[in-house]
Amino acid sequence: MSTTLPAPRVIADVFAKGLARNIVLVVAGAALIGLCAQLYIYLPGNPVPITGQTFAVLFVAAGLGLGRGVSATILYAVGGLVGVPWFAQGTSGLVSATFGYILGFILAAAVVGYLAERGWTSRAWRTAVVMVIGNAVIYAVGVTWLKTATGMGWSKAISLGMTPFLVGDAIKIALAAGAFTAAWAIIRRRRQS
């Protein structure tokens, strides 16, 4: 009698065999977000930098799923608040105008991780939809925080906190869609052999 292993719901399920490996995946996810935060470009007159954080958050959440993805983003946020210098430009603590984006990462990780566990990252177009939804969540929280923290109007908050990043987000989404499609193809082939 042969037993068949259940199909992985997210890519991390292929590697996560036990508590220790799950902890390693969560810590690695938080570290990846922190590392990608160091890829930053400040635009003149804009308190919100272009970073690799959003790509890392969405990638981590889609790869780890709901529980591990949320845990990784919470670890990233709490670690930064208590002094780990892994927010953009090696900062930590309560970064006033942009902290809403970090809070948005947690909510986006929940949404993206939930959808990923339901098979939404197995095809390129579906991965793209998941990443667009995740970005929308990050912007909803981040732009609202930016507006509130600085006292600027909605139009200015959107023009500083969202508009300059849309082209880069489209590129990041295309990269994620390709990466997840390739990863799932490899996993399917290995399971069939």
Per-residue pLDDT tens over the stretch 97-132: 889 999 999 999 999 999 999 999 988 899 999 999
Q: Give the lowest-confidence range in 36-40, 49-53, 89-93, 156-160.
A: 89-93
What is residue 53's three-state secondary structure?
helix
pLDDT bin (cut points 50, 70, 90) of residue 6 is low
Which of 187, 181, 173 has its CA nearest to residue 121? 181
Q: What is the pLDDT of residue 84?
A: 92
Residue 145 pLDDT greater than 60, yes or no: yes
In sequence order, the 6+-apart residues with CB closer than 8 A to the CB of 190 are none
Which of 139, 168, 143, 137 has its CA nearest to residue 155? 143
List Cα–Cα distances, 119 to 16, 65, 133, 166, 187, in angstroms. Answer: 17, 10, 15, 26, 14
Residue 2 pLDDT greater than 60, yes or no: no
- Alpha-helical runs (H) found in the chain: 19-37, 53-64, 66-81, 99-117, 124-150, 154-161, 166-192
What is residue 3's three-state secondary structure?
coil
Task: Report which listed range, 37-41, 54-58, 84-88, is most confident.
Answer: 54-58
What is residue 55's three-state secondary structure?
helix
The tokens describing 113, both together, are 């991780």
Cα 149 from Cα 92, distance rounded (Å): 17
Domain 11-192 adopts which CATH fold?
Arp2/3 complex 21 kDa subunit ARPC3 (1.10.1760)
Q: What is the DSSP letter of 51?
A: E
What is residue 43's three-state secondary structure?
coil
pLDDT bin (cut points 50, 70, 90) of residue 152 is very high
**Segments making up each domain of the chain, as ranges:** 11-192
pLDDT bin (cut points 50, 70, 90) of residue 5 is low
Do 141 and 100 form a contact (C-beta atoms < 8 A)? yes
Entry pTM: 0.90
